[in-house]
Amino acid sequence: MIRHLLKLAWHRKRSNALLLVEIAASFLVVFAVAAAALYVGSNWRRPLGFDWRDTWSILITDERMEHSQEPENDARLGARLLDEVRAVPGVVAAAGMDSPPYVDWTNTNNFDVNGRTVQFMSSGATVDADRVLALRLIAGRWFSREDDAQPWQAVVLDRDLANEFFGTVQCVGRTVPGTINEAEHEQRVVGVIEEFRKDGELAAPGNFLFWYVSGEARSGAARTNALVVRVPPGSAVALEEAVVARLRAVAPQWSFDVRPLDQLRASRFRMVCTPILVLGVIAAFLLLMVGLGLIGVLWQNVARRTRELGLRRAMGATRMGICRQVLAELLLIIAMAVFVGTVLVVQLPLFDVFDLLPSTLVWGAALLAVVVILGIGLAAGLYPSWITTRIHPADALHHD
Amino acid sequence: MCSTLKIALKVLLRRKFFTFVSLFAVAFTLLVLLVSVAMLDDVFGPQGPEDRPDRTLVVLKAELSGEHSRRNGWAGYGLLSRTLPEMPGVERSTIFAMPRKLTTYHEGRKITCFTRRTDGEFWKVFRFDFVEGQPYGDDAEAQALPVAVLNESARDRFFGPGSAVGKTFELDGRRLRVVGVVRNVPSLRFLTFADVWLPTSLSRSDGYKKSLVGDFAGAMLLAPGARAADVSGEFARRVGTVPIDDDRFKTLSASASTLFSAVASFFVFEGLDSKRPGVIVGVLWLLAILFMGLPALNLVNLNLSRILERASEIGVRKSFGATSGALVRQFLVENIVLAGLGGVVAAVLTAIVLAVLNRSGLVPYATFTLNLRVLGWGVLLTLVFGIVSGVLPAWRMSRLHPVGALQGRFE
């Protein structure tokens, strides 16, 4: 049967080849959208590592832009800002942090560990940042005042980075294999937290490191770029206003921008989801168009072959048999197109370009694309193949 | 030609389902392309305050580089103030900051404003549409007067509708007096867009004055007849003379070009110089053609499968001496007529989609419009699509053998 179908398909190879290319191209479109959606979906299911509810980040900007000329001064001022915020009635906890969650800027570092390059994001943080963001410790402790007097700088790793550096999360007391920010001191692990994903639920998983900012000028990090503040649920704008007024009174030369994390999170979601949604809608229309076009092509093909199919009916083929033949021919073309598309697509993990895309995801997206394309192809084939059942052998043989 | 058009319309009316499918494909494809073109036009087209893009050169980015360190970003005030003034061939020039988000608390509400610091010349290089009042001048910049220009949206949020000139408001801890209100500028116009504009010198410290890389940009309005190449050459020469007082860095680079080239150079890979916007235009065309690929293929397949319908007609025409060329032309015209109809549908749909986009607030203050420029592009794209999707079927039809065609054989 299949050999016979192949022969039939081969006879009309020129028009079938174009059809095949069209279906393969549709397959690639579905694959791209499915891969993007699956990628975001798989990120969504991973643990986040912090609590964004009822938390603000307060970004501090200094209009001088350049690095500060008076690091000691800035550091003292940074520490005073924190004291001021903590003193505002209604503030639950406050801490300093260079790159708060969901904020655009990040600090990326690369270390060579045993011949591999380990990439991670890092941020300075002060005491209490764990309380503000509800970070979950799995080993050791968060920064505390006792780290001030040490001859080394304290750092906290997240689970992923601890595993990358040491192969275990039980690494408290060990020295980080490299230095961050050209620090003069060695950097020693005091604690390990659960996976921490600064850029939120939809971002790629990554490694994270916090280094200790004490409020004294040291290691170039005079003050943090931002504060994070935990407030009671349902806090009014009045609290924001009170906090900003207090901050301005202490440091009139800086400007302060309060951004509640839930708002930053929502705008991140919009930024990630809008393009995928737009692509999805465009892809859906493309597929509808391809489906309609396929109906047209199959309809014409069936009409063109009335004589051939009529002859088969006259020779005793059943209606269902003919219907099945038409659908099987269609399936054959779709199968070949899907095969071509899959062969192209599975090359992706082989190239390192998309090391973001794990191979399970590629296979998942390919599978989804196969299902969608098969569905569309069969749906498009239903009407034309049904027409064949109405071919009357006598009419067909007359047909000219 | 007239008869060709008549045949084309007749053919279209003959099989309604096929016409519908083809029109759907064409209209949808052109819709997506037209919406993209309208968005590009909104960013780069000559409209709003930037009504003379071909006479305006901008300096956006600057880079300091040394052996071990590199710093790049928007241009710094120090770089621009040393290079832009008294440039030959330039009528006016301005230095202005990129907008920053500032928040303020006004009567128990939180108001977030994009704030842009500018000099007085800014208002002459770019021509804003003032609803009331007027811009501040260079004296405001020289004396650091606490004045501001608002857009309508900011005015409504601070004062509600009605006159606002002369009123004062607080922003980021400073009290400012409103001197003018302008119509909203779309946020995609990143050279001019803001909610609040105020003098640069109203800064908390004057540290910005020295920086070579910072958060400023410059724009020069060429004098009539001046050549852009001369001005950007002179600018490059001046950049070379700016002293660098940081020993980590050896060279300073920045260039003056049209907005489109400057933005194009953000996207084009490093090493390609920004003076060749042709590259990015090529990339855009490539994307458009790639996107047209699937719909075109769809249409090609549909048309190829319909050769049978036309076989007897082709046979007759061929036996009466029609050349292949004439037939190709006829079928191409038919396809272009179809694409044209689809283009009209697409234009109507585009207008609707753009209106919805403008209303949705997805892009603040968007004013996507289907203007003549966009429509012109639409016509061009329609033609391209009509030809791309029509050539192969037309050629195949024209090659039918007359005898076979008359008998209904066509393979």
Task: Give pTM, 2 decimals.
Answer: 0.83
User: Can you tell me the mean pLDDT for B355-369?
Assistant: 87
- Residue B169: its H or E element: strand B168-171
Interface check for A320 against chain B (CB to CB < 8 A): the answer is: no
* pLDDT digits 0-9 by tens, B223-276: 998 999 999 999 999 999 999 887 778 889 898 988 888 887 776 544 444 456
Domain positions in chain A are 2-45+268-398, 64-252
Which among B204, B357, B396, B410 is the top mutation candidate for probing chain A, defined by the most A β-carbons within 10 Å of its own β-carbon?
B204
B112 to chain A: closest CA residue: A257
Domain positions in chain B are 2-46+279-407, 67-249
User: Can you tell me the mean pLDDT for B137-143?
Assistant: 91
Cα separation, B79 vs B86, whole angstroms:
14
Residue with tokens 């961050």: A180
Which among B17, B74, B110, B294 is the top mutation candidate for probing chain A, defined by the most A β-carbons within 10 Å of its own β-carbon?
B294
Partner-chain residue, chosen from B210, B211, B301, that has the shortest CB–CB distance to A22: B301
Identify the DSSP state of A204: P
Contact B302 A293 (CB under 8 A): yes
To the nearest 10 degrees (0 to 180), the angle between helices A319-345 and A13-44 is 60
Which among A16, A33, A65 is the top mutation candidate for probing chain B, defined by the most B β-carbons within 10 Å of its own β-carbon?
A65
- Confidence (pLDDT) at B28: 93
* pLDDT digits 0-9 by tens, A134-192: 999 999 999 998 888 888 889 999 999 999 999 998 999 999 888 776 667 788 999 99
B131-148 burial: b if 16+ Cβ within 10 Å, else e: bebebbbeebbeeebebb
* pLDDT digits 0-9 by tens, A254-263: 888 888 999 8
Residue with tokens 């608002």: B150
Name B109's bridge partners.
B106
- CA of A129 vs chain B CAs: smallest distance (Å): 24
Contact B21 A65 (CB under 8 A): no
Using a CB-CB distance cutoff of 8 angstroms, which residues of chain A are in contact with residue B298?
A: 22, 289-290, 293
* pLDDT digits 0-9 by tens, A90-100: 899 999 998 89
B299 to chain A: closest CA residue: A293
- Confidence (pLDDT) at A132: 95
Interface check for A63 against chain B (CB to CB < 8 A): the answer is: yes
Partner-chain residue, chosen from B108, B210, B299, that has the shortest CB–CB distance to A238: B108
B221-235 burial: b if 16+ Cβ within 10 Å, else e: bbeeebebeebbebb
- Confidence (pLDDT) at A285: 93
Residue with tokens 């092509």: A297
Cα separation, A159 vs A197, whole angstroms:
11
Name B197's bridge partners.
B116, B149
Amino acid at B19: T
Using a CB-CB distance cutoff of 8 angstroms, which residues of chain A are in contact with residue B297?
A: 18, 21-22, 25
pLDDT band at B150 (very low <50, low <70, confident <90, very high): very high
pLDDT band at B82 (very low <50, low <70, confident <90, very high): very high
Residue A220 has pLDDT above 70, yes or no: no
Using DSSP's 3-state secondary structure scheme, residue A304 falls into helix
What is the predicted ipTM?
A: 0.79
Q: Both tokens of residue A180?
A: 């961050």
Partner-chain residue, chosen from A252, A297, A299, that has the shortest CB–CB distance to B301: A297
**CB-count burial class (<10 Å; 0-12, 13-18, 19+) for B320:** exposed
Contact B208 A304 (CB under 8 A): no
Using a CB-CB distance cutoff of 8 angstroms, which residues of chain A are in contact with residue B362?
A: 274
Q: Both tokens of residue A294?
A: 């396929």
Integer distance in angstroms from the first to the last C-alpha of chain A?
28
- Residue B408 zone, left/alpha/beta (φ > 0; ψ -120 to 50; rest): left
Residues 18-37 of B with CB under 8 A from A: 18, 20-21, 24-25, 28, 32
CA A400 to chain centre: 59
Identify the DSSP state of B257: B
Helix ranges (DSSP H) in B277-323:
278-305, 307-319
A287-291, B277-281, B324-328: lowest mean pLDDT where? B277-281
Partner-chain residue, chosen from A286, A289, A296, that has the shortest CB–CB distance to B18: A296
Partner-chain residue, chosen from B28, B207, B214, that has the shortest CB–CB distance to A289: B28
Cα separation, A310 vs A326, whole angstroms:
13
Helix ranges (DSSP H) in B174-277:
228-241, 259-267
Cα separation, B112 vs B195, whole angstroms:
9
Contact B21 A293 (CB under 8 A): yes
Q: Are A161 and A171 in contact (CB under 8 A)?
A: no
Interface check for A26 against chain B (CB to CB < 8 A): the answer is: yes
Contact A292 B362 (CB under 8 A): no
User: Can you tell me the mean pLDDT for B147-161?
Assistant: 93
Residue with tokens 């400012």: B176
Q: Are A260 and A56 in contact (CB under 8 A)?
A: yes
Interface check for B304 against chain A (CB to CB < 8 A): the answer is: yes
Cα separation, B124 vs B67, whole angstroms:
41
Partner-chain residue, chosen from A15, A29, A248, that has the shortest CB–CB distance to B173: A248
Residue A221 has pLDDT above 60, yes or no: no
Interface check for B395 against chain A (CB to CB < 8 A): the answer is: no
Interface check for A238 against chain B (CB to CB < 8 A): the answer is: yes
Residue A133 has pLDDT above 90, yes or no: yes
Interface check for A64 against chain B (CB to CB < 8 A): the answer is: yes
| Closest C-alpha to A256, from A240, A239, A233 | A240
pLDDT band at A232 (very low <50, low <70, confident <90, very high): very high
Using a CB-CB distance cutoff of 8 angstroms, which residues of chain A are in contact with residue B20?
A: 292
Q: Are B219 and B97 in contact (CB under 8 A)?
A: no
Q: Are B154 and B196 in contact (CB under 8 A)?
A: yes
Using DSSP's 3-state secondary structure scheme, residue B2 falls into helix
